[in-house]
Amino acid sequence: MTSPVRVFAPASVSNLGPGFDVLGLAVERPGDVVEAECSSGPGLEILEITGDGGQLSRDAARNVAGVAAASVLAALRARGLATPPVLPGVRLRVHKQMPLASGLGSSAASSVAGAMAVNELFGAPLSKHELLPHALAGERAAAGFGHADNAAPCLLGGIVLIRGYEPLDVLQLPVPPALRVVVVHPHARVETSRARALLRGYGFPIEQAVANLGNLGAFVAALYRNDLELLGRAVEDRMVEPLRTPLIPGYLEVKQAASRAGALGCSISGSGPSVFALAADDGTAETVAGAMRRAFLDAAGLDSEAYIGPVNAAGAKRVARCA
Amino acid sequence: MTSPVRVFAPASVSNLGPGFDVLGLAVERPGDVVEAECSSGPGLEILEITGDGGQLSRDAARNVAGVAAASVLAALRARGLATPPVLPGVRLRVHKQMPLASGLGSSAASSVAGAMAVNELFGAPLSKHELLPHALAGERAAAGFGHADNAAPCLLGGIVLIRGYEPLDVLQLPVPPALRVVVVHPHARVETSRARALLRGYGFPIEQAVANLGNLGAFVAALYRNDLELLGRAVEDRMVEPLRTPLIPGYLEVKQAASRAGALGCSISGSGPSVFALAADDGTAETVAGAMRRAFLDAAGLDSEAYIGPVNAAGAKRVARCA
């Protein structure tokens, strides 16, 4: 029998302003942990989920970590690895360490951690890039479509662009060393399905698309140039942000507070309600985080947590079991 | 009196696939030439226009080169330069050396050449970046709005991204040294106003915008990485190309011919009917150009010219008077 393994997969900020469904970055924390161990049963089961307040299914076929893990297990078996009776089954423990429906890529983190944990359990025969489609199988179970703008940065680390899905074309972009990311999570929920439903059937005027195209291009160029001022100017979303602003109480006040406190740019993290800001140093990031939290409280009566740090370069990783 | 000057401004390919109204590049040829000389009259007049088949207005206030030139002249006078009676007026000769309504940035080339010729006439007190708004004044006269995706690359050279207009934010992107551009101009006309009218009031589904955002980001990243394969994959327009395809007889056949002949990517140049393709070397570019011309002839009975070369790094420039 192989030894049990434990994998940490970080939260991620997708969209990043102009890049709806195509841009995302990983943060240092929060994140989810999945433990995997071999079992005598033939299939994959979830022994335990903690930190979800009882909201997630323990049925592995209906849980994103379970779906992603089962997808990896099937792939390993197809390669002649992890074949019964030598390694008959896998048991998972899922430790949710971030809020659900928060805009922080919670389902992606669980999917990635589940997929990677099974791969690590059997000696990591698959590369991270090979694991990505399996993590997306988990995302598909959660959202109906396997969007990669959370799962890819969560798994690979860094700042990631999804060029397209047919075939899946994922680019890792340079990360400016001084860049700091502030993510503020107010105590409110926005269901991704509701945030996406707003966009279904909506027709965007060409001018809005052009604005986002210009900013998306500038965002990518700014990363290669290590130009934080340009990066901040490029965090501008004329398409989706206006539609989703009403879902987040106090959003405009929070954005204004971030700007006044010195943020380079600020927008909605994923489908919200978390809001992210970019800053050029730790001190400014702290100031921005404080201003954003105060604005959530003053404008909408919402408590919040703030997470501050550099972009997470490593992405998902195996951690010591007693971490 | 200062000596007369002569300025060449190149054709340009805008949109470049995913980047509607935000991306453009300059080519080596064709291009327009504007000559400027001082006159005794107080204002700006157009002495002569050649090469337009009599289609353009000789009234300087209704001609893009005249409008751009007058805008520069007014700016120089506002700075205390080019003030009567020492330098009382300017006369222009405009030599159109590229087809109108061809998708090659014809009005931008005339605007840029007009603006730059007046500036050169008075010793070039304005930088190229300072000239850009004056060239856009000419574009505004032609199209109602001063789009910069032709004028900026025409003036500055290279491959240019327009982040936004308020304020005008223009980025020059790296040019892969091996990149070759093929532009094929079929003997057909597409009025920019008609090609733009198709887009007015049209609502783009989010999925189309996402596809263009992913490709736009990949296009910019490919330039920084000097990755021509990626650049070719990124020349994909899910938004505007499908709407404009019916305006260009034989377009789908031409695109397929380019691909089969080894083009990295192929799409409509500006609002068409010219079609551009990218290639990784001169030999492939020649083959691609031949295949595209044959396809225009076979599929639509259209004769065409092809222009092949590297990206024009210099942009608009002063040339010898007898060139």
Of the candidates B164, B205, B210, the beta carbon closest to that of A203 is on: B205
Residue A317 has pLDDT above 80, yes or no: yes
Q: State pLDDT tens for residues B61-113.
A: 999 999 999 999 999 988 887 666 556 689 999 999 998 889 999 999 999 99
Beta-sheet pairing, A317-318 with A5-14 = antiparallel
Which class for A86: exposed (0-12), middle (13-18), buried (19 or more C-beta within 10 A)?
exposed
Would you state the structure tokens that stand for residue A105, as one six-digit string?
């890529």
End-to-end CA separation in angstroms for chain B: 22
What are the respective helix, strand and coil percentages of chain A, to the nearest 5?
Answer: 40, 25, 35
Would you state the structure tokens that stand for residue A153, as one six-digit string?
């940065």
Average pLDDT in chain B: 93
Residue A82 has pLDDT above 70, yes or no: no
Nearest Cα to Cα of residue B136 among B157, B115, B167, B159: B115
Query: What DSSP designation does B239 have?
Result: S
Which class for A50: exposed (0-12), middle (13-18), buried (19 or more C-beta within 10 A)?
exposed
Mean pLDDT value across residues B129-138: 94
Whether residues B163 and A215 touch (CB distance < 8 A) is answered with yes
% pLDDT > 90, chain A: 80
Residue A247 has pLDDT above 90, yes or no: yes
Cα angle B302, B31, B252; round to 5: 30
CA distance A130 to A112: 12
Computed over its alpha carbons, how large is the radius of gyration of chain A? 19
Would you state the structure tokens that stand for residue A2, as one six-digit string?
């192989």
Confidence of residue B198 (pLDDT cuts 50, 70, 90): confident
Residue labelled with tokens 């019916």: B246
Neighbouring-strand partners of residue A89: A39
CA distance B13 to B7: 20
Chain B residues in contact with A206 by the CB 8 A cut-off are 20-21, 199-200, 202, 204, 239-240
Sequence ranges of the domains in chain A: 5-174+312-318, 180-309
- What is the pLDDT at residue B8? 98
Q: State pLDDT tens for residues A111-163.
A: 999 999 999 999 999 999 999 999 999 888 877 777 899 999 999 999 999 99
Is A85 an 8 Å CB contact of chain B? no
Whether residues B209 and A163 touch (CB distance < 8 A) is answered with no
- The two most distant CA atoms of chain B are separated, in Å, by 62
Contact A312, A205 (CB under 8 A): no
The reported pTM is 0.95
- What is the pLDDT at residue A322? 54
The size of the A-B interface in CB pairs under 8 A is 136
Contact A130, A112 (CB under 8 A): no
Mean pLDDT value across residues B258-265: 98
- What is the pLDDT at residue A323? 43
CA distance A160 to A178: 18
Is B136 an 8 Å CB contact of chain A? no
Confidence of residue A3 (pLDDT cuts 50, 70, 90): confident
Neighbouring-strand partners of residue B159: B25, B173
Whether residues B206 and A204 touch (CB distance < 8 A) is answered with yes
In chain B, the residue whose alpha carbon lies closest to the alpha carbon of A234 is B163
- What is the pLDDT at residue B176? 98
Chain A residues in contact with B161 by the CB 8 A cut-off are 214, 217-218, 221
**B231 Cβ contact list (under 8 Å, min separation 6):** B176, B179, B219, B222, B223, B264, B265, B278
Give how far Cα A11 sits from Cα of A112, A209, B180, B200, B234, Å.
Answer: 10, 28, 42, 40, 28
Query: What DSSP designation does B60 have?
Result: G
Mean pLDDT value across residues A189-201: 82
Q: Which of B35, B37, B139, B241 is catalytic?
A: B139
Nearest Cα to Cα of residue A149 among A303, A266, A24, A62: A24
Q: State pLDDT tens for residues B290-318.
A: 999 999 999 999 999 999 999 999 999 99
Q: Across chain A, where does the E strand assignment appear?
A: 5-14, 23-39, 44-50, 89-95, 159-165, 168-173, 180-186, 265-268, 275-279, 304-309, 317-318
Say whether B172 sits in a helix, a strand or coil: strand
Residue A10 has pLDDT above 60, yes or no: yes
How far from the centroid of its chain's Cα atoms is residue B57's Cα? 20
Which residue type is seen at A15?
N
Of the candidates B205, B213, B221, the beta carbon closest to that of A20 is on: B213
Of the candidates B171, B219, B233, the beta carbon closest to that of A169 is on: B233
CA distance A56 to A64: 9
Residue B50 has pLDDT above 70, yes or no: yes
- What is the pLDDT at residue B42? 77
Contact A264, A306 (CB under 8 A): no
Dihedral (Cα; B279, B284, B290, B294), 10-degree rounding: -70
Which residue type is seen at A164?
G
Whether residues B216 and A213 touch (CB distance < 8 A) is answered with yes
CA distance A16 to A219: 9
Is B145 an 8 Å CB contact of chain A? no
Is B212 an 8 Å CB contact of chain A? yes
Say whether A94 sits in a helix, a strand or coil: strand
Residue labelled with tokens 């401004």: B9
Mean pLDDT value across residues B184-195: 86
CA distance A214 to B164: 6
Strands lying side by side in the sheet with B180-186: B265-268, B275-279, B180-186, B304-309
Q: Any catalytic annotation for residue A192?
A: yes
Mean pLDDT value across residues B13-34: 97
Would you state the structure tokens that stand for residue A139, as one six-digit string?
């995302």
CB atoms within 10 A of CB B295: 26
Is A158 an 8 Å CB contact of chain B? no
Nearest Cα to Cα of residue B44 among B79, B91, B87: B91
CA distance B68 to A55: 64
Residue A85 has pLDDT above 70, yes or no: no
What's the topology of domain A5-174+312-318? Ribosomal Protein S5; domain 2 (3.30.230)
Is B213 an 8 Å CB contact of chain A? yes
Element (DSSP H or E) covering residue B225: helix B206-225
Is B152 an 8 Å CB contact of chain A? no
Say whether B322 sits in a helix, a strand or coil: coil
Nearest Cα to Cα of residue B139 among B308, B52, B14, B276: B14
% pLDDT > 70, chain A: 96
Residue B269 has pLDDT above 60, yes or no: yes
Q: Any catalytic annotation for residue B50?
A: no
Which class for B253: exposed (0-12), middle (13-18), buried (19 or more C-beta within 10 A)?
middle
What's the topology of domain B5-174+313-318? Ribosomal Protein S5; domain 2 (3.30.230)
Which CATH architecture does the domain made up of B180-309 adopt? 2-Layer Sandwich (3.30)
Question: For testing the chain A interface, which of B206, B207, B225, B241 should be mutated: the one with the most A CBs within 10 Å?
Answer: B206
Residue B323 has pLDDT above 60, yes or no: no
Q: Which region among A287-296, A298-307, B100-109, B151-160 has the lowest average model confidence (pLDDT)?
A: B100-109
Nearest Cα to Cα of residue B45 among B68, B22, B61, B32: B61
- What is the pLDDT at residue A193? 81
Of the candidates A20, A163, A205, the beta carbon closest to that of B203 is on: A205
Would you state the structure tokens that stand for residue B34, as one six-digit string?
């504007």
CA distance A301 to B81: 59
Residue labelled with tokens 């020649």: B286
Mean pLDDT value across residues A31-51: 92
Is B214 an 8 Å CB contact of chain A? yes
- What is the pLDDT at residue A1? 53
Peptide bond just before A205 cis, omega within 30 deg? no
Contact B179, B284 (CB under 8 A): no
